[in-house]
Chain A
Amino acid sequence: GEDVEQSLFLSVREGDSSVINCTYTDSSSTYLYWYKQEPGAGLQLLTYIFSNMDMKQDQRLTVLLNKKDKHLSLRIADTQTGDSAIYFCAESRGGGADGLTFGKGTHLIIQP
């Protein structure tokens, strides 16, 4: 199976919360990341969590990590039209020297 898996699409109404889920396989990952890609642009680091943490909150963003289940989620509160983008989950391998492994990305679609 794939190393990092995500749903391809998520549709939410403006003002609602968005929850994007991700599963990964490498239990030795030191950090887990969420990147955002807007149309025609490169990936921009949104937030990250250290593997010994369960939760991290940063303004409208909440990251939850369930290390036992190798499950990572990103919650965006009060979703706005500007949040429309592709969101990538990524894991670093042990030691991290070989870069990140990305999921295929979740397209977040905002309905008015």
Chain B
Amino acid sequence: DAGVIQSPRHEVTEMGQEVTLRCKPISGHNSLFWYRQTMMRGLELLIYFNNNVPIDDSGMPEDRFSAKMPNASFSTLKIQPSEPRDSAVYFCASRPDNANEKLFFGSGTQLSVL
């Protein structure tokens, strides 16, 4: 298995632009998580899905952020409009239901908003 696949690896955009981050979880994994990593706040859970349904989005910073999981093999995290303070590394992670919480992470998307 190729593991959790995220794209793009790097994204540089200007303030006000829409940004879409993509994630393909490991096949057969029922839960998918979006995390954001910054030096100041460390790793923050933004949202997670179980069987394609959003379970908890309380970590989503504000209405500019939205996430979807239209099917079991694909999820997006969208920021519109983007702001410089959104600059961070965004990680997607997945796990099967019986994995005792072991999360498998993608390589992340490094987002820079200028």
Contact = CB atoms under 8 A, between A and B. Distances in A.
Interface in B88-114: 91, 93, 100-108
B103 A96 contact: no
B43 interface: yes
B56 interface: yes
Contacts of B106: 42
B65 to A, nearest CB: 17
Contacts of B100: 30-31, 48, 92, 96
A104 interface: yes
Interface in A68-112: 88, 92, 96-105
Interface residues of A, number: 23
Nearest to B106: A42
B91 A42 contact: yes
Interface string A29-40: 011010100001
6 smallest beta-carbon distances between A and B, as pairs: A42-B105, A104-B42, A92-B101, A102-B43, A96-B101, A43-B105
A53 B71 CA distance: 38
Contact of B107 (A35, A42, A101, A104): A42
Most buried by A among B101, B105, B106: B101
Contacts of B31: 99
Interface of B: 4, 31, 33, 41-43, 45, 48, 50, 55-56, 91, 93, 100-108
Contacts of A104: 41-43
Contacts, number: 58
B45 A45 contact: no
Contacts of B41: 104
A102 B105 contact: no
Nearest to A50: B100
Given A42-B4, A42-B91, A43-B91, A100 B103 contact: yes
Contacts of A30: 100-101
A92 B102 CA distance: 9
